[in-house]
Structure 1
């Protein structure tokens, strides 16, 4: 069958590119079909209007110690790491709008009883996420039947501790703790080496480094390692037919038809709805892809003349129980005069903010930043050069959301440690940053998932050949 490619990969994000590279390096033929007119998936780096460097519309943070795959590419492509600023104070706003600063690495200056409750919930969550027994039956099933909010209540959380957990959950998923399986969030924390490391911006933490050239440059570099013509852009897949146990027919919306021995699906769960599967996906996979969902998650990047927040000893990190922003981080690159705060609008406060007019959105954020950093509205307004807003919720190829989807209760608790989530369906295989136990939701997780998928495919190709 000379007209049959060994592997078709659907999606040119990091997991799809990694899988394709592994297949190519193993001497197998591979074609990538990508719906967009670019590679990178949810890595998307946008040049500032004034040309002073880039800001990240999508995935932004890495580290150089426990994220070995992504860091290897950074070194290979000669990319410039920017250390996330944690020198100074964090700004905090309570539900009534009262603001204060506290040192990075400590807890907000609430009443001691509340601080103790927050610390107790954090420590219990840390212990549970790092305990292997948490993810085995019957505990696994029990945790999947309750929400993260119920888990916190069962652990004795006070109202303020629940609000703190909401900041974690909103900041990670754009969803509230009452919407997400407790098991799912514990798995996310486990994959990042604990809830503390998941939220940490220092060495070894999930938000330690950014890239001056932009994270999309990794995907662009990976694409260049593949033979010319491997990647077909603007080629959304419309249907996927399993002709037999050893042959698939992939059709695109623009009329292409490709026969493949194996297909690797590297797109977010909610965007499976864009493809007609014949035969349908297995029942458990179908239930997962219809139940898993994105929350409301918007980046609103404010570009400034100077890093004015540093004048008060602030590092640019802020969190709010009130909204509209859930948290923000300094995403400046000082060497380029690229000064910015990236504000994250999430969940219900984010939805209310997103419904406002463009001018009212800006007003709301400027006022809140002025209060958070104790400089006032006029100061922030005078420093503001412009804004960039992400629009992932309008992107069907992203699954209408960002950064990665999470399941509600009673979706993923079956089996042992969730391996069924990436079980193959005949000669179709599933990868993506949501389908990994390590660094789920991060670029590192995407690469690891891509490598896992390619190993499955290559092993089965050898089995197929030996059975002829």
Structure 2
């Protein structure tokens, strides 16, 4: 294989012959890197083309400016029991983990605007009637999700293949403002979209893929937010890249075009570099396929998915303090609001490094409005909202921020959203099989193609392993 520098060279395609490899992987996120690693372990020459200046996809770990500690602007948590694939990588690279803080009450702000302290295991509702509705609704959502087949979509009932809002009304909860608020929050938190535009089949499939609502919303031993990686989640990506053939991972190399010729594909980057490969793995968000010119064009079913899949509208802000004032006040750091701008949060502190941080998430239409603010307005809006959520006694402490870091994932070039994408009604049932279906020399990975743990690091790793195995089998290579 020809030598490839880490940073793509600005050379015209005609000035340099194509770099020939067995496989080109488009996308240097967790899925693309894991597939490339597996392919190289199987003896296949492989190059990864990452459009952005750094690898890791929707993971972004940075060093805190005001002291020791890691700030996670993207993916943050793993679970060593329910997420074995990503845990295996953490163990392989000798990374350290810390258990998520769980002691104290949560705070919930419902449609009535009142912020209430919620003891562990209690409903969010402020009265018995709403509490009964909440328990009933969440139980119904969990039961409906459990009934979904996450590997076969065509048998989902057509009369139930509606938006989450419509499903809510069909299920008898449409007149409850508390139920509508919870449903809206659920869609925003999980897929970054509103309940009126999210297909309930897609949302239920997503919930089932993450082992249910309790798993997705909790931080105990069975929860999705159980362990943090002390070196940062991006360290998994960088260790994967280091374990691969030197020079085989290129950053700042967005792909412009992919042309198939029988058993060979020509991949052209915006840098002018050209790659010739037997197989190409597409491991980027579905909504970004449109930034690549495919020749011949993608099949109609896949093109329909590309045209209609919507990236999650998402932002994440980390507020760091000199002290864990919420812990001192008996709060766990979970602040939830159905109106925002702070939609939900978790404590992301590392006491061993005197780092005390809250991670605030902004999602859906709330995030759209937040994105339109100035930098100072974005910061002050979250701080002001946090002040109102904790009340007058703690407002001063909430205001006394040491450091602020944030990412607007909706505005991230070559990604355009987080933590995943969403589909409207009918799309998964009609076109779900096309999501992972290969096309000629093209094979499709990326976190959205995972069966389990969509939107999580575990799902991205699993998707990478699946598509790598698919390519290895297609090329007739046995894994070493």
Q: TM (normalized to structure 1)?
A: 0.94
Give, in angstroms, the shift of residue 141 of structure 1: 4.2
The corresponding residue for 2:246 is 228
* Contact 2:99 2:228 (8 Å CA) reproduced: yes
The corresponding residue for 2:430 is 414
The corresponding residue for 1:105 is 121
- Which residue of the other structure, out of 226, 230, 233, is the alignment partner of 1:212? 230
Is 1:423 matched with 2:437?
yes
Using the alignment, how far apart are the partners of 2:101 and 2:295 within structure 1? 50
Provide Cα deviations, 1:62-88, integer angstroms capped at 9, x if missing partner: 101010011111111121212111211
Using the alignment, how far apart are the partners of 1:142 and 1:216 within structure 2? 43
- Which residue of the other structure, out of 34, 37, 49, is the alignment partner of 1:18? 34
Provide Cα deviations, 1:12-31, integer angstroms capped at 9, x if missing partner: 11101111111111111111
The corresponding residue for 1:466 is none
- Which residue of the other structure, out of 255, 280, 294, is the alignment partner of 1:277? 294
Using the alignment, how far apart are the partners of 2:53 and 2:312 within structure 1? 25
Is 1:44 matched with 2:60?
yes
- Which residue of the other structure, out of 248, 255, 274, is the alignment partner of 2:265? 248
Is 1:114 matched with 2:130?
yes
Using the alignment, how far apart are the partners of 2:421 and 2:295 within structure 1? 24
Using the alignment, how far apart are the partners of 2:418 and 2:98 within structure 1? 23
- Which residue of the other structure, out of 82, 88, 94, is the alignment partner of 1:66? 82
* Contact 2:28 2:50 (8 Å CA) reproduced: yes
Provide Cα deviations, 1:103-135, integer angstroms capped at 9, x if missing partner: 122212421111111111111111111124686
Using the alignment, how far apart are the partners of 1:352 and 1:426 within structure 2? 42
- The root-mean-square deviation of aligned C-alpha atoms, in Å, is 1.8
- Which residue of the other structure, out of 140, 146, 154, is the alignment partner of 2:170? 154
The corresponding residue for 1:380 is 398
* Contact 1:309 1:316 (8 Å CA) reproduced: yes
- Which residue of the other structure, out of 167, 176, 188, is the alignment partner of 1:170? 188
Using the alignment, how far apart are the partners of 1:137 and 1:9 within structure 2? 30
Using the alignment, how far apart are the partners of 1:308 and 1:108 within structure 2? 23
Give, in angstroms, the shift of residue 361 of structure 1: 2.7
Using the alignment, how far apart are the partners of 2:233 and 2:153 within structure 1? 35
From the superposition, tell whether residues 20 and 185 of structure 1 become closer, same or farther in structure 2 (CA, over 3 Å): same
* Contact 1:325 1:350 (8 Å CA) reproduced: no
Q: What is the DSSP-based 3-state SS (H/G/I as helix, E as strand, rest coil) of the residue aligned with 1:450?
A: helix
After the TM superposition, which residues 60-99 of structure 1 pair with which residues of structure 2 at under 5 Å, given as runs?
Answer: 60-99=76-115
Q: What is the DSSP-based 3-state SS (H/G/I as helix, E as strand, rest coil) of the residue aligned with 1:202?
A: coil
* Contact 1:64 1:204 (8 Å CA) reproduced: no
From the superposition, tell whether residues 176 and 132 of structure 1 become closer, same or farther in structure 2 (CA, over 3 Å): closer
* Contact 1:199 1:205 (8 Å CA) reproduced: yes
Task: Give structure 2 stretches of 5+ with no counterpart.
Answer: 3-18
Q: TM (normalized to structure 2)?
A: 0.91
- Which residue of the other structure, out of 364, 385, 405, is the alignment partner of 2:421? 405
Is 1:459 matched with 2:477?
no
Provide Cα deviations, 1:422-445, integer angstroms capped at 9, x if missing partner: 000111001011111100010000
- Which residue of the other structure, out of 299, 304, 313, is the alignment partner of 2:316? 299
Further displaced range: 154-163 or 59-68: 154-163
Using the alignment, how far apart are the partners of 1:363 and 1:256 within structure 2? 44
Further displaced range: 21-30 or 126-135: 126-135
Q: What is the DSSP-based 3-state SS (H/G/I as helix, E as strand, rest coil) of the residue aligned with 2:428?
A: coil
